[in-house]
Amino acid sequence: KSNTVAKTLGGKKYFGSATDNPELNDTAYVATLSDNTLFGQITPGNSMKWDATEPSRGVFTFAAGDAVAALAKKNGQLLRGHNCVWYNQLASWVTAGNFNASTLTSILQTHCGTVVSHYAGQMKDSWDVVNEPFNDDGTVRSFVFSDALGLTSYVTTALVAARAADPAAKLYINDYNIDSAGAKATAMINLVTSLKAAGTPIDGVGIQGHLIVGEVPSKAALIANYEAFTALGIEIAITELDIRMTLPETPALLAQQQTDYNTVISACKAVAGCVGVTIWDYTDKYSWIPGVFTGQGAALPWDDNLIRKPAYDGIIAGF
């Protein structure tokens, strides 16, 4: 099936949404999500993460991820995998105390290899293989794999295993606060540069885009940074866009949010190597923001009642 939004609004770029399994029982929600003239792409918000897919060592559970993959297939939507290795939502059995470095390497190979292999051929278009490797100051985020193996080793292990498991999937490293130039974006550029030099498979950087109303970088700053990434010979995507505000919503905040969504979408549109934009679910009804950022929310283009907000018009105008 063709994706009308991608064709009419974005040329070759996709526009998509994350979703999560509990939401798939909400008929009105699923109806809009399944409109492939609107959403050309889906990302599972939780069901392909390590704690969901390998809750005990060697025991793989794919039912929830499969449900999201099947929905995307039925709707003729692209699917992005999310994610193989992350410090968060990692199964609790993966601890440095229990395993030495070589066993941890093998655990990582097996996990990424098995999960990516399970979805081989379905992952059209890409996988977030490595999620959030850096702290905001550009230092390496400490967790079991970076502590035991080092950044280059664990990232390489994950990417090589993913490539072998699904040669057709584009492989990404994904992080937040890398929207514009700064220490964290520089750290990501340096990592990709070294991976490329070593011949390690890497196809893209995912710029999550968890942003704040009124604090979005300028379009020029976004474009300059997006181009710094694509100059490395990779593509980029905006993988988890949401633009939150301090509640309550006001007309002024909603108008600023419309501008802010427009800024991000039009910056992606301006950069040939920015292949698409995914919002981190489409309705405030299911946004992760209020649960994590106290007093903040209303971050998505559809409200709690699945009604379009001004942000929606900002997106349409931006593509």
Binding positions for ligand XIL, rule: CB under 6 A: 20, 45-46, 131, 208, 240, 288
Residue 173: what are its φ and ψ, rounded to 5°? Answer: -110, 135
- CA-CA distance, 108 to 86, in Å (whole number)? 11
**Least separation in angstroms between CB 232 and ligand XIL:** 21
Residue 45 or residue 301: which is nearer to ligand XIL going by CB? 45
Q: For residue 295, what are its two tokens?
A: 């007093």
Minimum CB distance to ligand XIL smaller for 18 or for 149: 18
Closer of 39 and 319 to ligand XIL (Cβ): 39
Residue nearest to ligand XIL (CB): 288
CA 191/CA 183 separation, integer angstroms: 12
- HSE-CB for 79 with a 13 A CA cutoff: 26
Report, in Å, the least distance between residue 255 CB and ligand XIL: 26
Consecutive H or E run containing 207: strand 204-207
Q: Which is nearer to ligand XIL, 6 or 52 (CB)?
A: 52
Which CB, 45 or 81, lies closer to ligand XIL?
Answer: 45
Residue 75 or residue 278: which is nearer to ligand XIL going by CB? Answer: 278
215 is catalytic: no
Q: Which helix (H) or strand (E) holds 44?
A: strand 41-44
* Residue 4 C-beta: closest distance to ligand XIL, Å: 27
Q: How far is the CB of 158 from ligand XIL (least distance, A)?
A: 15
What is the closest distance, in whole angstroms, from the C-beta atom of residue 82 to ligand XIL in the complex?
6
- Helix residue spans in 175-282 (DSSP H): 183-198, 219-230, 251-270
- Asked if residue 152 lies in contact with residue 106, where contact means CB atoms within 8 angstroms, the answer is no
Sign of CA pseudo-dihedral 34, 241, 276, 302: positive
306 neighbors 32 (Cβ within 8 angstroms)? yes
Nearest approach, Cβ of 272 to ligand XIL (angstroms)? 25
Contact 297, 244 (CB under 8 A): yes
DSSP 293: S
Catalytic residue among 54, 132, 235, 240: 240
Query: From residue 118, how far is each of 48, 133, 154, 174, 252 by CA, in Å?
Result: 11, 24, 21, 21, 46
Which of the residues are catalytic?
A: 240
